């Protein structure tokens, strides 16, 4: 289980367009918003990532980078990037199912073609949204079992503004007896 204020699992994956994303060296002042999405087959994901693409410059103004990734291949990730017209949002590909589990993501099995006519992979990770500090400690997370009802990026921006202004710590860190 991931614990706020504790180090997250490592994440080092190839990026579309070349290079790699390494969470140990995010290259940002305050960290990274990491959005795990289901894959090209998910129309909800495309809408969600389009919003993150739109707000990526706002996160950057606050010293926070953005990254979207899935278990999709490079080709399917490129198709998603084209679909959402990604220009600012970094997209990584090739997340292993083992690494997805390390991050606490749920795994689903294929149900064939989706409503948009794209075949689901045999196994894939369900969505998760994480804000990881520049020192690779967990600040915020939301993990889901379904593609629906995801946290809004605009609300995350507002929360980030509050956290920066008030020096508000990550919560949920207690692991002792209850």
* Averages of pLDDT over each 10 residues, the chain, 178 residues: 97 97 96 98 98 98 98 98 98 98 98 94 98 98 96 98 97 97
Q: Alpha-carbon distance 135 to 73, whole Å?
A: 28
At residue 125, the pLDDT reads: 98
At residue 44, the pLDDT reads: 97
At residue 130, the pLDDT reads: 98
At residue 98, the pLDDT reads: 98
At residue 87, the pLDDT reads: 97
> Quick one: CA dihedral 77, 80, 85, 89, positive or negative?
negative
Residue pair 26/134 in contact (Cβ under 8 Å)? The answer is yes
At residue 103, the pLDDT reads: 98
The domain locations on the chain are: 32-165
Q: Alpha-carbon distance 173 to 5, whole Å?
A: 6
Residue pair 123/97 in contact (Cβ under 8 Å)? The answer is yes
The CATH number of 32-165, from 3.30.930.10, 1.10.645.10, 3.40.30.10, 3.40.640.10, is 3.40.30.10
Return all residues near 98 (Cβ < 8 A) that are at least 6 apart.
Answer: none
| This prediction's pTM | 0.97
At residue 112, the pLDDT reads: 95
At residue 66, the pLDDT reads: 98
**Total residue count of the chain as it appears in this document:** 178
At residue 6, the pLDDT reads: 98
């Amino acid at each position: 289980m991931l614990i706020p204020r504790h180090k997250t699992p490592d994440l080092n994956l190839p990026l579309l367009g070349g290079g790699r994303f390494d969470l140990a060296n995010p290259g940002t002042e305050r960290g990274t918003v990491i959005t795990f999405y289901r894959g090209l087959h998910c129309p909800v994901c495309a809408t969600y990532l389009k919003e993150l693409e739109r707000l990526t410059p706002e996160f950057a103004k606050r010293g926070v980078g953005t990254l979207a990734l899935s278990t999709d291949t490079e080709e399917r990730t490129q198709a998603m990037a084209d679909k959402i017209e990604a220009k600012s949002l970094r997209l990584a590909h090739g997340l292993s199912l083992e690494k997805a589990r390390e991050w606490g993501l749920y795994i689903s099995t294929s149900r064939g073609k989706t409503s948009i006519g794209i075949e689901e992979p045999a196994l894939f990770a369900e969505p998760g949204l994480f804000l990881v500090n520049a020192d690779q400690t967990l600040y915020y997370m939301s993990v889901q079992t379904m593609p629906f009802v995801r946290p809004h990026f605009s609300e995350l921006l507002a929360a980030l503004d509050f956290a920066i202004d008030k020096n508000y710590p990550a919560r949920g860190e207690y692991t002792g007896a209850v």
